[in-house]
Structure 1
C-alpha cells in the first residue's frame, strides 16, 4: 500500500483513486472510491502495453465479459473502460485472509468445516459456469475468507469457454499442483478443470498439505498428468468426497451441483447455523481485518501525495494483522500481482446496499416496529422555513444539506438537526453541484463582483475557495475534474448560447461549444456526466452526447423525449439510461441500443412517456405515467409495478432510493406529494401531503430523505 505518485491518475470513471495497492508486470492496481464512498480495486494497464490497441480492447472486452458473473461468492467485476488512453477495470474490494493464510495461521479445517467450504465454493463455481466462464486458476490464495463466507477472487485467467484468453510469452498457464491435467497439457478446458482445482483446494484445507508436490515445477506438473494425488493426510470422510474431483478424465469428475449437494451440511449440526469462518480464532481474525479495512477506507482520499498520510495507512493495516486487500479480476491471463500469481444473472435485480462505512452523522433506519404501513412517521426534523419558494432540488454533501434560499443565497443546514450552518450570497437563483465531498460549485451573479462567475465553496464552512469569470449562467453537471455549465455571450439578456467545460485542477475553460440542445435560463438541459461522456436532454426532447474531453458530439437521439419536457439521464459503467418516448439503455461510447421499452402512457406536447430513471445497484426505477416499475437495468425485465392512480402532469421526477424505501414524486392532477414504497415489493408504505399542490423536490443521503416544499425543508426517516 503506497500513496499516489506524480504520474498516477486521480480519477478513472466514477472512482477517485486514493492509494496504490500493488504493481505487477503488466499494470498497477489502485484503491478507489466512488461517489457513495464504496471502495473498489481499480486495475490499470501499463502505458507501454496500452499503446497496443488490440491488447487494450481485448483487456476491456474480456473484463466486461466477466461482469456476467453476479454471484455473491465472487469478487465482482464492477466495470471496465478505456479512458484517456488508459484501459482499466474495477472490481470489488474484499477484506480478509486468504484460505492459504488461514491454513498456515490457524491450521486445517475439521471435516464439517471442509464440507461447508466445499459446498460454498461449489455453488460459486456453478454461478461462474452458468455465466459461460471457467475460472482456470482456483487455488487457496485466490479464495478470501470473509465473515459472509469464502469469496473467489482474481479471475486472472478466467475466460469464456469458447474463446481464447490473453497470455504473454513465457507465462505458465496454470498454478502447479492445482491446474487440471488438460490444462497442463495445453488442451481445451471447460468447467471440469475447475472441479479438479476444487478437489485439490479441499484436500489442502483438510490436511494442510498439497496433494501434488515435488522439487520443482516440472515434477509437480508431471505428477498431475501421470501420477496419483497424495491423499494420505486427508481424513477418510473428506477423501471419499474429493478423490472423484481429481480424476484424470474430465468426464469422470462430478459437477459442482453434485458436489454442493453431497457436501451440504444437514440441519441441526452441533454448532448450529454458524459456519467454520464464523467461529473461534478465524472469526476473530476476520473481524480484526475488516475493522482495519473499514478505518482505511474511511480515510480521506486527496489528489496530491503530500496530503496523503502513508503512516495512517500503514497503521491501519498493521492494526488488522496484515489485512489482505483482494480484488476479483477480469478475463486476462496475465493479470496476476504475485508470482504464482459462471448463475449468471440474478433472477431479480440486485438492490444496492452501501458498503461504505457509516458516517458519524448518519441516521438510524426505522425498524418494522417503528412505523405502520399507511401512516407516515414524524420527521427527523422540520418542516422549517428556509428554502426559496421557487423549488430547486436540495443537495446533501457530507454532514450538510444545501438549498437555494429565498433571498438569493445558498444555505447549508446540518443533516442531524436542521441547524443553519452557513449562508452565502450568490445574487441569483442558480443550481449547484458537488464534484466531490470537498467542493461545491454554483454561479455568482452579483454586479459588484462581476457577472457570471463560477463560484467554488467549501461545503463544510461555506467559505469561498475561488471564482472564475467565464460568463456562466448556470451549472448543469459535474464530475471529479470538471464542471459543465451553460453560458451566454450577453449576460444582460441571459440568452444561453454556449455550453462550456471548466477544468477544476487547472481552473481554466477546457472547451466551449454552441449549446447543442434547445434551452433557456428557466429551462436548462438535464444532464449527466460519466465514463468520459456528457449527456444532455433539451426542451426539444433531443438527446446529445459529447466527448467530455473535447466537447465534440459523439451521437444524438433527435426526439427521445416529448417537446418541452427534458428528461434527466442516468449514467453508470459506460451505459446511459434514458426516459422519454422509450425507456432505453444505450452504450455511452456510440449510442448503440442495449434494450428499449416504449412508453405506454400517452405522449403529447409537454408531457407523457417515461420519466427520469434512477439506478440502484442492478435495479432501475422509473415512472411511466402514473405507474412506477422496478426493472433489471441489464435487460429491462420488470420485477414489480405499482400504480399511483389518477392522471400525471409533468414533470416526472426520478424516484429517490434510500435504505429499503422508494420515494416517488408525481404531480397528479388535483393533488401533489410523495408516495413511499417498499423497495423489494413496490407495496405502499405511506404518503406525504397528497393534497398539497405546491412543487416538491427531494434528495437522499445517510438514511434520510430531504424534502423541500412551499419554502420549507424537512428531513424524513427511512426504513
Structure 2
C-alpha cells in the first residue's frame, strides 16, 4: 500500500531509504531509515495539512535549524531536515535503547554512583543544547534514552530559542507536569536554562527513588505542587539530596548553573551502569543481528495476523537477549518529536457501508487465539478495563487536550458507545454494580451497558477528583471547590444522587473496611474513621501525635477486623476498625520508600511491600511472619478502584487459600502461600517484567516484555506463550481470556486457553 503522505517513491525521502514505520500520530509519522552510506536514522514526517499552516511550518523551520546546531556525546543528533519539502521532514540519529522511565520500572532505582553519572551526562547534554541557543523545556525520564553507549537526551521538539517568544501563544504551558519549573507554569519570569536545571533535579530524584518528586495526580494537582509545595525527597539518598534540592529551588536564580551541576557530579571513576545487568539485557543485543531485527520488527507494509501460532514453551537459547532487543528497538525509536505538536482531532467515526470498522481486526474463537485487535493511528489508548462482557478503553485524541472513554464488546471488539472525558490517564476508575465510576477523568456515574449517565448532569462540578472510594454501595470522592476547600461527596452509584457532602480538609485515599473509611488528613498524622453512609466521624486515632510520625500507607485487614497503618518512620500500627483503638504496634521497624510502599492483605495475613521486600505480618500483633524478595509494588500489585494498589491473589482481594502472585525477580514469577510465605511454585519466564500478573479462574497470565505466558494456577505449569508486536504496557483478564495493551497504539484480546 502506498503511503499517502509521501510523494513519489513511498519508500524514500531524499537520500534516505525507509525500512519501516516506527510510530504515528495526528501530527505525522516516524520511519526507520537508512542513508546511502548505511547509517540508520529516525525520519519524522509532518502531515501535509499541517505543513500548509504558515505558523507551523515557520516554527518547524526555526527549531529544526536550531536543533541541528546541537552536538554532544549525550544528545541524539539532528542530521538533516527539509522544512521546504511538500511533506516537511526531520532525520535524527537512530538510537536503540530504553527510556530511563522504562529502565527504572524494570530494574529499580539507580544507586548513588549511577545517579551521579546520570547527572553528569544530563549536564553535558544540556551544555550542548544551551550552547546552541535552546532551552529543552521538556526534560523528563521518558526523554532520556539509556543506550549501549550511555544515556542520551532526545526530543528537542518543544525546545525554544533563548529569548524567542514570538511563536507560542500567550498562556501556553509547554512541558510535562511534575518536571516543569514553576516559571513555566506561572509565566512570572522568563523561561531560561534554569528551567532545564529544575527538570534535571526532578529526573535525578526519579532515578534515585523510582517516583516523581511531586508525586502522582491530575495535571492541576501536579502544577499546583510544583508552584506551591516542596518536593518529597525523603527517599533520595543523602549523598545527592542536597544537589537535587538545589536544582528544585523554586527561584530560578537560586538554582545551580549547568556547569555547577556538572562539577558536583563529575567522577572519572563513575561506573558504566548501563552495561550492568539487568539494564544490559534491556539495552544491548547481539550486534550481528541488529540489521535483520531492524527490518523485521517494523515492516513497511503492516500486516495484522490473527495471532501467533502455538509453540513450545521451554526457553530457547539466546531468547532473553532477543526479547530485550525487540523491546529496546520499539522503545528507542517510537517517540514523536514535539515539533509535531499541533492538535488535530478525529472523531469516533462510523462503520463503513458493509459494517466494517477500520480500526478493528477480527480474529478467531479458538482457545488461545487472537479474538480481536484494535489499532489506532491518530489517537492514543492509555488504559483498558474489562468488565461484564465489555472492555472500556480510555485514550486521548490527537493533541492531548481531549480524552474519551469507549466501550467495546468483549466478544468481538464491536463498538458500543463513546463519551468525552478528561485527557488525564485514569488511575482510579472502576466499575460498581454495573456502573462506571471515573471522576478522575471527569465522568459522572455511567451505566456500562448503555453509556448513559445516571443523572442529567454531573452533580459535582469541580476540579477532577483527588481520590475515590467505594464503600457499601456508596461512591465517596474527594474534590476541591473554587476556593480550594477540600470536600468529600458521597454519591449513590445507581442514581448519581448526592447522599452527603462534607468539608474535611486535605485527605489521602482511604483504606476501607465494612462501612468505615480510614482517612488521614492535614499533615497525615491525624487519622479518622468516617462512616461512609452518613459522612460522620466515628473515631479519631491519635497514635502518631507524640512522635510526630505520619501515615505513609494503610490497608484493611478484614479477617482480624483491623486496619494496618504504616508510618513514614517504618512503624506498623494495628488499629481496630470498629472503635479506632490501638491493638498493637509492631516491635520491628520496616524499611519504607515513599511512593513505592503499600499495605495489603491475603489469606488472613497482612502484606507489606517496600524497598524490594515483601513482608507477611500477623494482622493482630503486626509482628512479621516472613519476608521474600520482590520486584516492587508497581510491577507486582494491581491498581484497584480508587487508585490504591493491592496484591494479586487467586479469586481477587481478600480471597482465602489462594496464593499471592508476584515477581520475585525481573524475569521470575512466584506463587506464595500467604500464611507461611513459602513458594508454592516459582517459574522463570522470558523477558523483563513491567506489569503485574492477572488471574482468571484457574489460569495466571504473566507479561514480560513483549511476551505473555499462561500458567496453571495450581502448579505454575506453562500452558501457552504469545509474542506481541511490542512491549506489553498493561495486562488485564476476564472469564473469556486476557487483554494486552501495546504502547498507546494497540489493544489485543485473546481467548482463554484449555488447561
Using the size of structure 1 for normalisation, the TM-score is 0.42
- Higher RCO (C-alpha under 8 Å, 6+ residues apart): 1
Using the size of structure 2 for normalisation, the TM-score is 0.40
